[in-house]
Structures are given as C-alpha cells and as structure tokens.
Amino acid sequence: MNVGVLALQGDFREHLLALGDCGVTGNLVKSAAEISQIDALIIPGGESTTISKLAKAFDLFDLISKRIADGMPTYGSCAGMILVAKSILDPASQQETFGGIDMQVRRNAFGRQTESFEVDLDFKVISGAPFRGVFIRAPWVESCDKGVEVLASLEVAGVKHPVAVRQAHVLATSFHPELTGDNRVHRYFLEEVCKK
C-alpha cells in the first residue's frame, strides 16, 4: 500500500516517521502525478489556509477532493481535520476544504497559542492507556451528521466537543499524535480505516 503524506506545508515529516514506526514506508506527495499514485493519504498539521491556497495554486485541490470522494482512505490531523471537513464555521477569506466528513469545524476553537494544551483522552477504538492529546491552536467539531462516528470528545465549559471522528474511509483528529511518539492512531488508520 502506497501511503502519501501531503507535503505542501506543516509537520509532514513527523507523520512520515510515525508511519515508519508502524512498519510502513510512506511517501511525501506534492504533485498531481504523485497524488494520483497513492492508495491512502495523510494530511498533516500546519496552517490550513496555506495548504488550501497551495493546493489551489497548483491544481491539486479538485484532484484531492475527488480522490477522497472516490473512497481513498484519508487521515487529517489538526489542519488536516479542517481540510477534510464539509464546512468551516467563519472561514478565512475564500478558504475551501477538500471534504470527506459530513461535519462543520471551528478553527482555533480552544483559543490562541497560549491556550494550547495537552490532555489524556479516552479514544474509543484504541485500547490500553489513555491517548495523550496534543492540541495546538486546535479546531473542534462544531456539529456533525449521523453517519459520523465520534471517537473522542473533550468537555469545555460543560459542553462536549468531538475531537476525533471517523466517517467510512476518512479519519480526523483535532490533536497531533505525530508529536507524541505514540503511534496507536496511525496504526488504527492503517489497520482499520485503510482496510475497509
């Protein structure tokens, strides 16, 4: 299986290392030819506006959207979560998304960098110890359709917000497993999401 990591901007090398820890040799992809050849895609953390503008400028946007819509297994962390959402609450000027999960996300939902944090999460499909979630200017899921499975949530001021979700072949997390050295989310993506 050829797993691509979208390498337009962000921490794509950390995702590549996490794949390596799972015994998979991933490939950094940033051209139409490369993206056409992959079987699965990871969209890394980064600046979602930058990644989407570069994808537009180099005619990758529609290709990625179509491949996701056609069933290519895809995992997005943080900025990647924003980019696989159906819509963004209060999007930055002209910001569009690839789509993949029927949800609306709120960018920078927890606040600015000073509010970035780490917390232990109960991640539904991952057994063993809690998963350490690293949230950096992170989004959360504001609302989602019935077909979206919520895998982890976080309570903020008494309100529960999904921070890890899956719909069919698309997985998204608000946080950054690739910064923790704990590869259980990547393993779940490779072993469960990619298999279906």
Check if the beta carbon of residue 8 is closer than 8 Å to that of residue 31.
no
| Nearer residue to another protein within complex by CB, 29 or 194 | 29
78 is catalytic: yes
Residue 170 contacts by C-beta under 8 Å, 6 or more apart in sequence?
A: 68, 73, 74, 75, 76, 84, 100, 101, 193
Q: Which SS3 state, helix, strand or coil, does residue 21 take?
A: helix
Q: Quick one: which segment of 18-26, 62-70, 89-97, 141-149 binds another protein (CB under 8 A)? A: 89-97
Q: Measured between alpha carbons, how far is 193 from 96 in angstroms, rounded to an integer?
A: 25
127 belongs to the binding site for another protein (CB under 8 A): no
For the chain, how long is the longest CA-to-CA vector?
47
Q: How far is CA 83 from CA 49, 80, 191, in A?
A: 9, 5, 23
57 belongs to the binding site for another protein (CB under 8 A): yes
Q: Quote the Cα angle for 50-53-56, to 5°.
A: 150
137 belongs to the binding site for another protein (CB under 8 A): yes
Question: Which residue of the set 161, 169, 176, 186 is catalytic?
Answer: 176
Q: How far is CA 36 from CA 39, 55, 104, 186, in A?
A: 9, 14, 27, 22
Residue type, 195: K
Size of the site for another protein (CB under 8 A): 52
Question: Which residue of the set 15, 161, 178, 194 is catalytic?
Answer: 178
79 belongs to the binding site for another protein (CB under 8 A): yes
Give least dist CB 176 to another protein, A.
6
Give least dist CB 113 to another protein, A.
4
Q: From the list 23, 33, 114, 127, which residue makes contact with another protein (rule: CB under 8 A)?
A: 114
185 belongs to the binding site for another protein (CB under 8 A): no
12 belongs to the binding site for another protein (CB under 8 A): yes
39 belongs to the binding site for another protein (CB under 8 A): no
Give least dist CB 135 to another protein, A.
7
Q: Measured between alpha carbons, how far is 153 from 69 in angstroms, rounded to an integer?
A: 26
- Applying CB under 8 A, the residues found at the interface with another protein are 7-14, 30, 45-47, 49-50, 53-54, 57-58, 78-79, 92-94, 107-108, 110-122, 130, 133-137, 153-156, 160, 176, 179-180
User: Which sequence positions are flagged as catalytic?
Assistant: 78, 176, 178
